[in-house]
Structure 1
Amino acid sequence: MADPRIHHLSVLGLLILGLIFAISGAEASPPQGRILGGEDVEQGEYPWSASIRYNKAHVCSGCIISQTRILTAAHCVSDVGVTPVSISDLAVRVGTINQYAGGIIVNVRSVVIHPSYGNFLHDLAILEVDPLTFSDRIAAIDLPSTEVEGSGETETETEDVDAELPNGTPVYVAGWGEQSDGTVAYKQQKSNFNTLSRSLCEWQAGYGYESVVCLSRAENEGICRGDAGAAVIDDQKVLRGVTSFNFGPCGSKYPDVATRISYYLTWIEANSQ
């Protein structure tokens, strides 16, 4: 599904996109992927999902973490760098699998972009919205706990991020991204990924940062425009990542990339009061 936000990126943002294509060794071309198989989501199956809307059009996905806070990718709501677009241009639809209808549309009160965001690293933003009323179709996703290795306490994070999501861990994503034929899906789609270890992601894409989760999938599948900001969940329905970007054209041979949530728990908590 075409992402209208692409047309509102700054010149710097476009240069960054070009750099990503260069890193991947793939030329930019029209999207050929879809969100990992494009299986329809049932109503209430992913109740934490949100459609982030810019000038009344869907641009990205998001995930509800509380009655007043939604996480999404920073580049979805960035004007220039860490300066967000005007909140008067933003809204969020929740409580429906249809990006065009149903559920409710809520106002955005404020946007906080991670202060280190740049070049698609630390690609995370928190939207404060009008209070949501939770139901079977609107609910918060569980955040991960960060245990001290071997202690069972939740004070500091482990240094080995691959211990959190070992290579090959099944994870799941649902969003409203562009489909393989370039059309816009009105109904939310879901699919499966497997995580890649840092070393394998570095080998395959030169992107082995501990602040991200790399996602493997078959070629001609994967996240595409409109999927950024979607929740990456594990078998326990715990939020492990927020989708960020794909290298080159959608569905390329390179892994997709998500922002690792456990890396940012302190920042998320500090900006969710």
Structure 2
Amino acid sequence: MADPRITLGLGLLIFGLILSAEASPQGRILGGEDVAQGEYPWSASVRYNKAHVCSGAIISTNHILTAAHCVSSVGITPVDASTLAVRLGTINQYAGGSIVNVKSVIIHPSYGNFLHDIAILELDETLVFSDRIQDIALPPTTDEETEDVDAELPNGTPVYVAGWGELSDGTASYKQQKANYNTLSRSLCEWEAGYGYESVVCLSRAEGEGICRGDAGAAVIDDDKVLRGLTSFNFGPCGSKYPDVATRVSYYLTWIEANTQ
């Protein structure tokens, strides 16, 4: 599997852009709509010291995927698992559903500069699935074998994201929000943002809409309700003219399987 390399100059540029966006684990979807109860039952509110910081996606009765930067202390060293929990089975980030503690955290060993921005949370108890708590299907292994994001997600593929946070007017929303995107090809993402890596999926949306701080880790799903990505970061201010970036889940299927047995 190809491992994308980032030059020092590009790394510093991306780092500067991320800092200008204040990419940190507190987020929102701009221009979103309210989610109905049970519409995104694989969604998790990832909580640090009891406060919502990021989103996550349930992939089994014991595991949740999220963005690595949400649970990183320094580099690939995670925060103490005892400080983490998830709220499941509700669209209200403040109430309802159930709180489940996190037992352990595994950050991808190549994580850095927002590349390979993926982590696995092992839960302290086994989930009981219901109409409000379910897992999301992972991509087929054939998508990992192609190593080609354009073959898996051709340019313009509709995808969907749901997360918690502030609304477009800057006020905080207690209710989960959803938004529609279209994928960009690697060449177009390289052209528009200089970020055409095999391990990411670039997301196109109207200016003034999109992910912002803390929607990181939210599931990016397709029409078949397959987990295609995890939201990672945005360039410049939230809702800028540049595409948003998600970690491409199929790129990591072997790693996910090895660490969720």
Do the two structures share a fold, i.e. TM-score over 0.5? yes
**Equivalent in the alignment of 2:3:** none
**Equivalent in the alignment of 1:210:** 198
1:230 partner amino acid: A
Verify: 1:147 aligned to 2:142, yes or no: yes
Alpha-carbon distance in 1 for matches of 2:20, 2:68: 24
Shift of 1:88: 1.3
When residues 18 and 179 of structure 1 are mapped into structure 2, their CA distance, relative to the original with a 3 A threshold, is: farther
What is the percent sequence identity of the aligned residues? 80
Three-state SS of the structure 2 residue aligned to 1:177 is: strand
- Structure 1 runs of 4+ with >6 Å offset: none
CA offsets 1:104-152 (integer angstroms, 9 cap, x no match) = 000100000000000000000000002111000000000010227xxxx
1:141 partner amino acid: I
Alignment size in residue pairs: 249
Gaps of 5+ in 1: 1-15, 149-155
Verify: 1:109 aligned to 2:97, yes or no: no
1:132 partner amino acid: L
2:220 partner amino acid: V
When residues 34 and 253 of structure 1 are mapped into structure 2, their CA distance, relative to the original with a 3 A threshold, is: farther
Shift of 1:182: 2.2
TM-score (norm 1): 0.86
Shift of 1:183: 2.2
**Equivalent in the alignment of 1:131:** 126
When residues 17 and 244 of structure 1 are mapped into structure 2, their CA distance, relative to the original with a 3 A threshold, is: farther
**Equivalent in the alignment of 2:152:** 164
Alpha-carbon distance in 1 for matches of 2:23, 2:184: 26
1:211 partner amino acid: S
**Equivalent in the alignment of 1:62:** 56
Alpha-carbon distance in 2 for matches of 1:30, 1:264: 23
Shift of 1:18: 7.8
Shift of 1:159: 3.5
Verify: 1:272 aligned to 2:260, yes or no: yes
Alpha-carbon contact 1:34-1:220 (below 8 Å) kept: no
Three-state SS of the structure 1 residue aligned to 2:137 is: coil
Verify: 1:72 aligned to 2:70, yes or no: no
Alpha-carbon contact 1:34-1:251 (below 8 Å) kept: no
Alpha-carbon distance in 2 for matches of 1:30, 1:136: 33
CA offsets 1:34-87 (integer angstroms, 9 cap, x no match) = 525321000000000000000110000000000000000000000000000011
TM-score (norm 2): 0.90
Alpha-carbon distance in 2 for matches of 1:109, 1:28: 31
Gaps of 5+ in 2: 1-9
1:133 partner amino acid: V
2:73 partner amino acid: D
When residues 200 and 137 of structure 1 are mapped into structure 2, their CA distance, relative to the original with a 3 A threshold, is: same
More strand by proportion, 1 or 2? 2
Three-state SS of the structure 2 residue aligned to 1:188 is: strand
Larger mean CA deviation between 116-125 and 158-167 belongs to 158-167
